[in-house]
Structure 1
């Protein structure tokens, strides 16, 4: 993939980056009050029209990690106090936390440590393991209920390894809370295998269906 897919918007105190390969157009940026992001304007993002702290706050709303920043005065984006995997109604898995990504294919901007990603659950994305909104055309349906509770954990933060297993599920290893689409903290534990083929009968968890349907992870 071309480096031109990553767009740089420099500011005096803070720079903003947009990786269009990861963007699923949720709209948290353009719907924010103010003129940091204005559709149709050139440049679309202007970090100098908004206070630095406000820029940070708006960029950190992006659930896919397509937006990021480099603060020339302050610290890097902090890790959230909770590692969470949010099961989106008929959509992807939003992972937030101190994420260490593995097996992410050709997306070098997301290699290493990240804070926010949107991961495919339907099996149809052309940008696996990331969501590209293919669930809509594929007619993927899962309302985001979580029936299991997990083994429990005394902590919710710390490093969380997120690995896309070859032609298999997502392996999440580390302190983790899985939130149902209702926002309920449904599952707590330190290791989970989550479906990314779209065929599991026990969503969001893997039940081995990827072998039956011949799922290919790339």
Structure 2
């Protein structure tokens, strides 16, 4: 798969999009359609909202396909800490925030930073990661 990275900036913040990582959860454009519009070209309009709202929305991306950096901090070194947080999305994946090393049954390791979305339903075609299949299958939590 081709490693594509696209960047969109409003002068203060740069949104980084890696399409090959995207799992199409649609959280981005349902939460901030004035910035993320899948029908527009380009689909990201970094001037569509404030820097704070853009950062808040990008942080919700479950796959990590969307990230951001503040332009005035782009040259500063980033320190990675070992803290993490796990959160269950109602009728959705388990989100793991932080630095995570996922090891599959074959022993292959994949490092993740920011957010990782793990499938809770066993229906993903990209196990153990969420690919949004639960949405099309209409899966609902039983409580």
What is the TM-score of this pair, normalised by structure 1?
Answer: 0.48
Structure 1 pair 143–51 and aligned structure 2 pair: CA distance change class (3 A): closer
Instruction: Name the CA distance, whole Å, in 2 between partners of 1:10 and 1:100.
Output: 27
Instruction: Name the CA distance, whole Å, in 1 between partners of 2:23 and 2:65.
Output: 8
| Cα deviation 1:1-29 (Å, max 9, x = unaligned) | 2213xx41331332212233443433332
2:42 aligns with: 43
Displacement after TM superposition at 1:52 (Å): 2.2
Aligned residues: 133
Instruction: Name the CA distance, whole Å, in 2 between partners of 1:142 and 1:9.
Output: 35
Instruction: Name the CA distance, whole Å, in 1 between partners of 2:43 and 2:138.
Output: 32
Instruction: Name the CA distance, whole Å, in 2 between partners of 1:20 and 1:135.
Output: 20
Structure 1 pair 124–13 and aligned structure 2 pair: CA distance change class (3 A): same
Instruction: Name the CA distance, whole Å, in 2 between partners of 1:28 and 1:141.
Output: 17
What is the TM-score of this pair, normalised by structure 2?
Answer: 0.67
Name the larger-Rg structure: 1
User: Is the aligned partner of 1:92 residue 2:93?
Assistant: yes
Q: What secondary structure, in the 3-state scheme, does the structure 2 residue paired with 1:29 have?
A: helix
Unaligned runs of 5+ in 1: 105-110, 146-218
1:186 aligns with: none
2:102 aligns with: 102
| Cα deviation 1:17-44 (Å, max 9, x = unaligned) | 2233443433332133562222321111
Structure 1 pair 112–53 and aligned structure 2 pair: CA distance change class (3 A): same
Structure 1 pair 113–134 and aligned structure 2 pair: CA distance change class (3 A): closer
Structure 1 pair 27–133 and aligned structure 2 pair: CA distance change class (3 A): closer
Displacement after TM superposition at 1:144 (Å): 5.6
Instruction: Name the CA distance, whole Å, in 2 between partners of 1:36 and 1:61.
Output: 14
1:10 aligns with: 8
Instruction: Name the CA distance, whole Å, in 1 between partners of 2:61 and 2:6.
Output: 16
Report if the CA contact (8 A) 2:37-2:43 is conserved: yes
Displacement after TM superposition at 1:86 (Å): 1.0
